[in-house]
Structure 1
Amino acid sequence: MTNLVTLLAASAAAHGDRVAVRHDDSTLTYAELDDASARVAALLRDRGVLPGDRVAMTMPNLPLFPVVYYGILRAGGVVVPMNPLLKAREVAFTLRDCGARIALVFPLFADEVTKAAAETGTACLVTEPEAFDALLRGHDPLLDTVDRTEDDTALILYTSGTTGTPKGAELSHRNLATNTLTTSETLLQVGPDDVLFGGLPLFHAFGQTCALNTAVAAGATLTLLPRFDPQRALEIMARDGVTVFLGVPTMYAALLHAELPDGFDTARLRLAVSGGSALPVEVLHGFERRFGAPVLEGYGLSETSPVAAFNHPDRPRKAGSIGLPIRGVEMRLVAEDGAGVAPGGIGEIAIRGENIMTGYWNRPDATAEAVRDGWFHSGDLARVDEDGFYFIVDRKKDMIIRGGYNVYPREVEEVLYEHPAVAEAAVVGMPHPLHGEEIAAVVTLRPGAKATAEEIIAHAKERVAAYKYPRVVTIADELPKGPTGKILKREIVVSGP
């Protein structure tokens, strides 16, 4: 496979009349998606896009996203998806850093992108639906897909930049194709009759590989939700007969506490997949009881295309575990000095295989730091049991050191989620003159539930060692979240009582 877009071409040939993507009453069959993307490719060629050129796109979860995404690939371009919520300053950084030849933007987000494009001298095309449709109709479809080698870059995903300015992870056609096929064939086991829930942002690695590309590879249907809302999600699941739900932990928590629509039927839901961050065990079990489908946890990063480990559907699973390395991938735990870590010990996850990025765009220093001797160092701390199952302990940088003792927020958060009033929880460190750091927690409560900070502290104190329980608990209306719904601990600010 020399170009990722051949996944679409194959499904269009085999399943042309099947619905590829749906948003409420708007649908595209595989034949229509293939044709529209070929017209985008022709448009880009007319705009001077050459093989290897970077093309930025800012699109919501609408059928237009895959049209533009596969059109860029068909033209031989490199897709640079951008978060629609970015401001002009952030967009300008991305456009300048990757050297984008052109940016395509949905009208709703045009103000910030056009400002940035003017600042960086980047061509910009606003995809106003009627005008853009007319523009595409004026171009004959580019029938021949531009050949790329398997190692050519297909996608640049910019990381969140928690440790500085964002870095662009370069993923090759081989990276994405192999990760997609492994996900489709061995993890989700998707077929043409499946309907995948498309509530994960498609500009993110999780949504792209596990939802969009996996659905397309199998000839399945992807039903889209542009902005996650638990009630709308339940309505879509019922209306479209969703068979595979994909989400992050905050989505599962929201669905667990949402009111089910009248006559809601989960009969077709056969599988749920969680990733992005650790899923509290209480939430996992609660979802399975309510919806009658197993939840399989996986693990990955933008730099790993993204899937690296998974609880495989045809093997025993372990709640709270990210599972086993997937096909074509190896994992191990390493200590600070690079030595291996024995089962039961805690170390940093290192990964190698066909899913590892080719590097960070124009950042050889960062690439050399992250990828050593072929192993990508994730920054995530984990332990592995005697069966080879990995259990995330925490992000290396999130670990709290209180009075010389290591405290892993994930462990404390699991205890907080066991409190009957707690809906969401985040544990962070705060400066302390004596202990160095103190344990603090910010929680939200379930609808209609009541609890005081003191009650929550007492709950944790009974269940973890004295140096682990939070001395400060703040009850908030909501927790800050990123585009995928992942809780952003770096935006949580706590202070002493």
Structure 2
Amino acid sequence: MPIPADGRFNLAWHCLGRQARARGGKIALIIAEDPDTMESWTYAELDAKVRRLAGGLAASGLSKGDRVMIRAGNDVEAVLAIFATIAIGCVAQPASPMLTVEEVRALAADSGAAAIVLDDADPAVRAALASLVVFDHGDVVRLAAESAPADYAPTAADDPAYLVYTSGSTAEPKGVLHGHRVVIGREPMHADWLGLTGDDVVLHAGNINWTYTLGVGVLDPFARGATGVLYAGPRDPGVWPRLIEATGTTLFAAVPSLYRQALKYGDPSRMWPTRLRHGVTAGEALSPDLLAHWREATGTGLYEALGMSEISTYVSSRPDEPVRPGSPGRPQRGRRVAVLPVEGGTDPLRPGEIGLLAVHRSDPGLMLGYWNRPEEEAAAFRGEWFLGGDLAEFDADGWVWHRGRNNDIMNAFGYRVSPLEVEKALAAHPDVADVAVAERTVSGDVSVIAAFVVGKPGRAPDEAALLAHAAARLAVYKRPRRIVFVDAIPHTPNGKVSRRLLPQLIA
């Protein structure tokens, strides 16, 4: 779908208002507490609740462009809050419920959030965010039921719709701002990765605050008139085969490590006679051995994609052609993707030459920019190309082969984590003289964060104390899983931490 000629476009209307008119009685969303406990909502029901909640938010004094942080898990109130915020022209700011109070406060301060939606009435969070308008779970339920409905705002395609925070090259997370047009920019992946149609039931294993889940689990199904399924139960690696069977899932989305866990702890034979057509994966590299194991156990395929918060996925393997194990695929049709020289220049490299993977600035799925980070934003572009930091090469047939990162960003279970952010938190401990963190491969394609600590003279740092210190300051996925005490941190000749050498210090 092209952007309308007049530039007017509202993401929430495209996903819900439009679908409510065309297929109001169809199930749009399923929230599953477990395979036997599920609730569902039609497009007409979601549209009505979103417009009422939007009216309530507007009546509270929110204005176009205001940021609304939404710190919630996978419940319908989170979905309603995101779409209602966008519907009235405000900017939704999804945030992980795993974030600490300190992290929530920092993100709210950075974004200048005007309000926050909480999944509970946590007094500590309320006290920390006393300057914001707070809507708790009960407020959302009440407003979505009782408020006068609002119309979808006549926003422009380039107006801000949502703001997500991701780890950058500094010690602080940076905001990635997307426009209403992002949902149009996602359309190339519907055919060239998901194989998505309006008849599909899409189950995503992640949390809605993650762009992978928000996009594939909610935006894409709604945009196509399909059904999205989110899991809101306790962590259980064996639940996925049973949930796929119970919900009639046709497309399953997760990170590779979760597929590995599902094979190990679940009963993959339950997927064989179900409606499951295939799975899709992103966030981590899909190893050839996991791909082969999944195919053998379930009789279905896995299709990989490469992307990031700034552009979502733009390279992927396709359900209508054989995959090449070890490659994330080819550029999705309609996207302009190139490999540029690491050292500079805008002339694309030839097949077989390794450089920086780049996406053209004209892509409607590309972010509007980094929130209040003009220097980082300028550094991410080279001429008309956006550089995400991935090293890659094309082969002669146009397949992309990933060759690592051109920076120190870590990948822990699909989450991008800045080592500087973790180091900053640990360095605040009184027993730490110096610290560096790095990824450590523990098995196959699974890696965790390890911290290497130099203690202060005369002090005896304790691993449990340091891990507790980190837990009080960092979300679960950012925390080191192991502390390694060392005499000194290795550095490169120019004085930077040599993260490549850090894993060698583990006995």
Q: TM-score, normalised by structure 2?
A: 0.76
Alpha-carbon offset, residue 3 of structure 1:
0.8
How has the CA–CA distance of structure 1 residues 193 and 386 changed in structure 2, closer, same or farther, with 3 Å as cutoff?
same
Q: Percent identity?
A: 29
Report Cα offsets for 1:200-221 as digits up to 9, x if no partner. Answer: 2211111111220111112211
Q: 1:284 aligns with which of 262, 282, 291?
A: 291
How has the CA–CA distance of structure 1 residues 279 and 484 changed in structure 2, closer, same or farther, with 3 Å as cutoff?
farther
Alpha-carbon offset, residue 161 of structure 1:
4.1
Partners in 2 of 1:180 and 1:222 — Cα distance?
16
Report Cα offsets for 1:168-227 as digits up to 9, x if no partner. Answer: 1111111x2223333335432323321111212211111111220111112211121135
Q: 1:397 aligns with which of 400, 403, 407?
A: 407
For residue 111 of structure 2, what is the aligned residue in structure 1?
98
Gaps of 5+ in 2: 33-37, 412-418, 420-435, 446-469, 485-502
Conserved in 1, the CA contact under 8 Å of 2:195 and 2:318? no
Partners in 2 of 1:329 and 1:363 — Cα distance?
26
1:326 aligns with 2:332: yes
Which residues in structure 2 correspond to 1:437-452 (within 5 Å)? 441-443=440-442
For residue 73 of structure 2, what is the aligned residue in structure 1?
60
Match of 2:336, SS state, is strand
Partners in 2 of 1:444 and 1:203 — Cα distance?
28
For residue 341 of structure 1, what is the aligned residue in structure 2?
349
Conserved in 2, the CA contact under 8 Å of 1:183 and 1:214? no
Match of 2:252, SS state, is strand
Conserved in 1, the CA contact under 8 Å of 2:98 and 2:476? no
The residue identity in structure 1 corresponding to 2:47 is D
The residue identity in structure 1 corresponding to 2:170 is T
Report Cα offsets for 1:312-344 as digits up to 9, x if no partner. Answer: 223342111111112332222222322443322
Partners in 1 of 2:476 and 2:242 — Cα distance?
19
Conserved in 1, the CA contact under 8 Å of 2:269 and 2:297? no
How has the CA–CA distance of structure 1 residues 81 and 132 changed in structure 2, closer, same or farther, with 3 Å as cutoff?
closer
How has the CA–CA distance of structure 1 residues 112 and 148 changed in structure 2, closer, same or farther, with 3 Å as cutoff?
farther
Conserved in 1, the CA contact under 8 Å of 2:326 and 2:401? yes
Which residues in structure 2 correspond to 1:74-85 (within 5 Å)? 74-85=87-98
1:363 aligns with 2:373: yes
The residue identity in structure 1 corresponding to 2:18 is A
Gaps of 5+ in 1: 400-408, 411-427, 429-436, 447-479
For residue 10 of structure 2, what is the aligned residue in structure 1?
3
For residue 466 of structure 2, what is the aligned residue in structure 1?
none
Which residues in structure 2 correspond to 1:421-460 (within 5 Å)? 441-443=440-442
Two-structure CA RMSD over aligned residues (Å):
3.0
How has the CA–CA distance of structure 1 residues 486 and 311 changed in structure 2, closer, same or farther, with 3 Å as cutoff?
farther
For residue 22 of structure 2, what is the aligned residue in structure 1?
14
For residue 468 of structure 1, what is the aligned residue in structure 2?
none
Match of 1:81, SS state, is strand
The residue identity in structure 1 corresponding to 2:382 is R
1:117 aligns with 2:129: yes
Match of 2:129, SS state, is helix
For residue 168 of structure 1, what is the aligned residue in structure 2?
175
The residue identity in structure 2 corresponding to 1:317 is V
Alpha-carbon offset, residue 484 of structure 1:
12
For residue 375 of structure 1, what is the aligned residue in structure 2?
385
Match of 1:393, SS state, is strand
Partners in 1 of 2:125 and 2:401 — Cα distance?
40
For residue 126 of structure 1, what is the aligned residue in structure 2?
136
How has the CA–CA distance of structure 1 residues 33 and 163 changed in structure 2, closer, same or farther, with 3 Å as cutoff?
same
Alpha-carbon offset, residue 167 of structure 1:
0.8
Q: 1:217 aligns with which of 214, 217, 223?
A: 223
Match of 2:209, SS state, is coil
Conserved in 2, the CA contact under 8 Å of 1:231 and 1:258? yes
How has the CA–CA distance of structure 1 residues 362 and 148 changed in structure 2, closer, same or farther, with 3 Å as cutoff?
same
Conserved in 1, the CA contact under 8 Å of 2:71 and 2:96? yes
Partners in 2 of 1:191 and 1:485 — Cα distance?
35
For residue 385 of structure 1, what is the aligned residue in structure 2?
395
Partners in 2 of 1:316 and 1:262 — Cα distance?
23
Alpha-carbon offset, residue 104 of structure 1:
0.5
Conserved in 2, the CA contact under 8 Å of 1:329 and 1:354? no
Conserved in 2, the CA contact under 8 Å of 1:153 and 1:170? yes
Conserved in 1, the CA contact under 8 Å of 2:192 and 2:317? no
Q: Which has the higher contact order (CA 8 A, sep 6+)?
A: 2
Match of 2:109, SS state, is helix
Partners in 2 of 1:309 and 1:492 — Cα distance?
36
Partners in 1 of 2:401 and 2:127 — Cα distance?
44
How has the CA–CA distance of structure 1 residues 253 and 150 changed in structure 2, closer, same or farther, with 3 Å as cutoff?
same
Instruction: Count the aligned residue pairs.
Output: 420
The residue identity in structure 1 corresponding to 2:126 is T
Conserved in 2, the CA contact under 8 Å of 1:179 and 1:209? no
For residue 60 of structure 2, what is the aligned residue in structure 1?
47
Partners in 1 of 2:479 and 2:406 — Cα distance?
15
Partners in 2 of 1:491 and 1:382 — Cα distance?
30
For residue 23 of structure 1, what is the aligned residue in structure 2?
31
How has the CA–CA distance of structure 1 residues 21 and 115 changed in structure 2, closer, same or farther, with 3 Å as cutoff?
same
Report Cα offsets for 1:124-151 as digits up to 9, x if no partner. Answer: 11113xx542333221221x21111111
Q: 2:308 aligns with which of 294, 297, 301?
A: 301
1:273 aligns with 2:270: no
Q: 1:198 aligns with which of 188, 204, 211?
A: 204
The residue identity in structure 1 corresponding to 2:105 is A
Q: 1:233 aligns with which of 221, 240, 263?
A: 240
Conserved in 2, the CA contact under 8 Å of 1:105 and 1:124? yes
Partners in 2 of 1:291 and 1:171 — Cα distance?
37
For residue 449 of structure 2, what is the aligned residue in structure 1?
none
